[in-house]
């Protein structure tokens, strides 16, 4: 775990150094390029502001109504046996359908337990290694006009499960 922690610390500075260095040696006007990209990045964030407002409001209302607590207490015995805090169950399910709705739940975990708690770390890793299964499948197969998806769903769920198990193990080593 020590090596992994060190890698986490150095990867961003090394990456920035490499990209800027590579840019200079390729005679790119690096600062101009950076400004252009940063401007595009800001546009992306502005575009998602309404989404975030809508979803954070929905999740905040759900949290304050006591619904999550009720759900958590209901699921706790089953999930805690395998090392998953019950509060992550809604997240795991919603993540299969919509990544922006899942983001609302992630932020709720961060707010209630803190990003450095076991639940917070597990959430962070989990969200970095899984993708929205049903949403991706419906959009991509629609592009190819395919209705019989054969073994795609099984494979996608299997990969998601493997990523979830790995996340539980890794997060357990971090706290």
Binding to another protein (CB under 8 A): which residues in 35-74? Answer: 35-42, 44-46, 48-49, 52-67, 70
Under a CB-based contact definition with an 8 Å cutoff, are residues 133 and 160 in contact? yes
CB of 80 to another protein, least distance (A): 20
Question: The tokens 């769920």 sit on which residue?
Answer: 157
- Listed in sequence order, the residues at least 6 apart from 76 whose beta carbon sits closer than 8 Å to its beta carbon are 86
Under a CB-based contact definition with an 8 Å cutoff, are residues 107 and 113 in contact? no
Total site size for another protein, rule CB under 8 A: 108
Cβ nearer to another protein, comparing 62 with 92: 62
CB of 86 to another protein, least distance (A): 17
| Helical packing angle, 118-129 and 99-113, nearest 10° | 160
Cβ nearer to another protein, comparing 86 with 156: 156
* Interactions with another protein, residue window 73-92 (CB under 8 A): none
The CA R_g of the chain, rounded to the nearest whole Å, is 20
x/- letters, 107..146, toward another protein (CB under 8 A): x--xx--xxx---xx--xxxxxxxxxxxxxxxxxxxxxxx
Cβ nearer to another protein, comparing 38 with 78: 38
Cβ nearer to another protein, comparing 41 with 80: 41
CB of 10 to another protein, least distance (A): 10
What is the end-to-end Cα distance of the chain in Å, rounded?
10
* Interactions with another protein, residue window 3-22 (CB under 8 A): 3-5, 7-9, 11-12, 15-16, 19-20, 22
Q: Token digits for 21?
A: 């260095």
d(CA 132, CA 129): 10
Residue 85's region, left for phi above 0, alpha for psi from -120 to 50, else beta, is beta
Is 2 a residue that touches another protein (CB under 8 A)? Answer: no
Is 100 a residue that touches another protein (CB under 8 A)? Answer: yes
């Amino acid at each position: 775990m020590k090596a992994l922690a060190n890698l986490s610390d150095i990867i961003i500075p090394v990456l920035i150094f490499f990209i800027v260095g590579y840019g200079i040696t390729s005679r790119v006007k690096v600062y101009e390029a950076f400004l252009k990209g940063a401007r595009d990045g800001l546009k992306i964030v502005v575009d998602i502001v309404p989404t975030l407002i809508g979803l954070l409001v929905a999740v905040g209302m759900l949290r304050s109504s006591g619904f999550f607590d009720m759900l958590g207490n209901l699921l706790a015995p089953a999930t805690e046996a395998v090392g998953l805090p019950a509060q992550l169950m809604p997240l795991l399910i919603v993540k299969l359908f919509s990544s922006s709705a899942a983001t609302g739940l992630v932020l709720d975990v961060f707010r209630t337990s803190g990003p450095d708690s076991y639940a917070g770390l597990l959430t962070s890793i989990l969200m970095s290694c899984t993708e929205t299964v049903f949403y991706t499948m419906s959009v991509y197969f629609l592009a190819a006009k395919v209705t019989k998806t054969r073994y795609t769903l099984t494979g996608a769920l299997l990969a998601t499960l493997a990523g979830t198990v790995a996340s539980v193990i890794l997060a357990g080593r971090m706290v």
